[in-house]
Structure 1
Amino acid sequence: MERVYIGMGSNLADPAEQLRSALDALAHLPATALAGVSAFYQSDSLLPGQPRYTNAVAALDSSLSPLELLDALQAIENDQGRERLERWGPRTLDLDILLFGDRLIDEPRLKVPHYHMQERAFVLYPLAELAPKELRLADGRTLAELLAACPFTGLERL
């Protein structure tokens, strides 16, 4: 089993309930155990005019392959009404593989570590509740270094 961190976000249809439902679905994935979940946070959308997001990070221990897990996450999103109409549009649920063990994955459907996670407080601060500060990304930077470069601004812990 490998430790996998999943970024979670929603800004439609009762976002906190969307995340709770997703956590229940994650806990029931085959060959996978839900190892932890961060607090929920609210953050502004990256694009103006959208509702605020509710975000969290879940830790999983999984023996699924990266693409098997990606397929399972997308099935959960679809079950919860996710529509992929535009890349940065509002959504009922967004589940992203942030880190998959110490793997560096560059597949057409999956890039890990998740792109731009090092710049997003709504990812790093929930991740820091679950992962050790000395956690190293594939590029050698530690979680502590990423946190030091990304201020806790625009976030509200729920």
Structure 2
Amino acid sequence: MGSSSFLLIMVLMMGAMFLMTRSAKKKQQQAAEMRNKMEPGSGVRTIGGMYALVKSVNDETVELEVAPGVHAIYSKQAIAVVMDPVEYNRLVHGDEPEDEAVEDADATSEPVAQAVVDAAEAETKDAAEDKDEPVALSKNLDGDKEASAK
């Protein structure tokens, strides 16, 4: 009975190891495919979190423009993500895509955010009035400072 338990445990461990190595190989293949999609002009993020533009791609290395006019050579293995131009420009330059859905979302989000700020300020003022303490300075979305003391 002891040897059959041992054998069962060994089979389960081997199965788990097989599944783990299989998923790791699959992830490596997906990363290699992603890196093969790099071409000059692509936006990338390195494993260190730096965003850059691809200037040239070689067998094992890639030349990146890390700042205007500043080029550096990186290993292809150092590339974590290859981004599409819209996503790269949004992250790096803050460019929002010209889309009505985005404009509609921006139009509705500001009043909602202002309402949240107003509610938080009212709650703070109520709490301060209960304790007879001055209300802390707060900053609303327009950047104006408000202060009130009891």
TM-score normalised to the size of structure 2?
Answer: 0.21
Higher relative contact order, structure no. (Cα contacts within 8 Å, ≥ 6 residues apart): 1
Normalized per residue, the structure richer in strand is 1
Which structure has the larger Rg?
2
